[in-house]
C-alpha cells in the first residue's frame, strides 16, 4: 500500500521562482563577505607577518622580492591563508617551499607577537598569488591586439 502511494505523488514545480533565486544569491553574497573581526585579524596578521618576513630574511629570496599580497581568515578564525606575491623570483614554487619549510619558526614568532590579541592561533597556510602574472599576460595580449589592429581608413 505504501509503495503505491509514494509512486502516485508527483512533483509538479521543477522551476525556481525569481524571488527564490534572489534570496539564494543574497545568502551566497552574505556568506562571501568577510566580517569585521575577520578583517581585523587579517590586518593584524598581515602587519606582524611582514615584520617577521623582514626579520627572518624571507622578503628577499633567490634574488627577488616576496611580499604578502593579502590575508584571508576563515569565519571560524581557525585558518589564515597568506597569499604571497613573488617579484623577479626565479622559481616561485621553490620559494614557497622554503617559506613552508620555515613554517614552525614563523608560527612561533607570530604566536609570540599576537598572543594577547587572539585566543588561539589560526593554522597558517601559504599560497602563491598569481594576479601579477595575470596582469602582465593581459597587458601583453592588449599590446598584441593593438599592434595587429589595422589602421583606421581616414588616418586617425
Q: Which helix (H) or strand (E) holds 124?
A: strand 123-128
Residue 1 lies inside a defined structural domain of this protein? no
Q: Which helix (H) or strand (E) holds 45?
A: helix 36-56
Identify the weakest region by mean pLDDT among 6-15, 61-70, 115-124: 6-15
Residue 125 has pLDDT above 90, yes or no: yes
Nearest 5°: the CA angle 19, 23, 25 is 115
| 85 within a domain of the structure (yes/no) | yes
Distances (CA, A) of 135 to 14, 26, 58, 89, 141: 42, 30, 24, 17, 10
- C-alpha atoms less than 13 angstroms from C-alpha of 5 in its C-beta half-sphere: 2
User: What percentage of the chain reaches a pLDDT higher than 90?
Assistant: 38
The answer on pLDDT for 101 being more than 90 is yes
Question: What CATH number is attached to the domain comprising 95?
Answer: 3.30.300.20
Is residue 82 within 8 Å of 100, Cβ to Cβ? no
- Full residue range of the structural domain in which residue 49 is found: 35-146
Q: What is the pLDDT of residue 14?
A: 45
User: Would you place residue 34 in the very low, low, confident or very high pLDDT band (cuts 50, 70, 90)?
Assistant: confident
Residue 73, domain member (yes or no)? yes
Confidence of residue 24 (pLDDT cuts 50, 70, 90): low
Residue 25 pLDDT class (50, 70, 90 cuts): low
Is it the case that residue 152 has pLDDT exceeding 90?
A: no
Total domains in the chain come to 1
Is position 14 within any domain?
Answer: no
Q: Does some domain include residue 17?
A: no
- Considering the chain, what percentage of its residues have pLDDT values greater than 70? 77
Is residue 79 within 8 A of residue 123, CB to CB? The reply is yes
Amino acid at each position: 500500500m505504501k509503495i503505491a502511494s509514494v509512486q502516485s505523488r508527483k512533483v509538479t514545480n521543477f522551476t525556481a521562482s525569481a524571488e527564490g533565486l534572489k534570496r539564494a544569491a543574497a545568502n551566497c553574497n552574505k556568506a562571501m563577505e568577510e566580517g569585521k573581526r575577520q578583517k581585523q585579524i587579517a590586518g593584524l596578521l598581515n602587519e606582524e607577518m611582514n615584520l617577521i618576513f623582514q626579520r627572518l630574511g624571507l622578503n628577499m629570496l633567490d634574488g627577488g622580492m616576496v611580499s604578502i599580497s593579502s590575508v584571508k581568515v576563515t569565519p571560524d578564525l581557525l585558518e589564515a591563508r597568506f597569499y604571497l606575491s613573488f617579484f623577479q623570483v626565479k622559481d616561485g614554487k621553490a620559494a614557497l617551499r622554503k617559506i613552508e619549510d620555515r613554517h614552525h619558526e614563523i608560527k612561533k614568532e607570530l604566536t609570540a607577537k599576537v598572543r594577547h590579541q587572539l585566543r588561539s592561533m589560526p593554522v597558517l597556510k601559504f599560497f602563491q598569488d598569481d594576479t601579477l602574472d595575470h596582469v602582465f599576460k593581459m597587458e601583453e595580449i592588449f599590446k598584441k591586439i593593438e599592434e595587429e589592429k589595422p589602421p583606421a581608413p581616414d588616418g586617425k
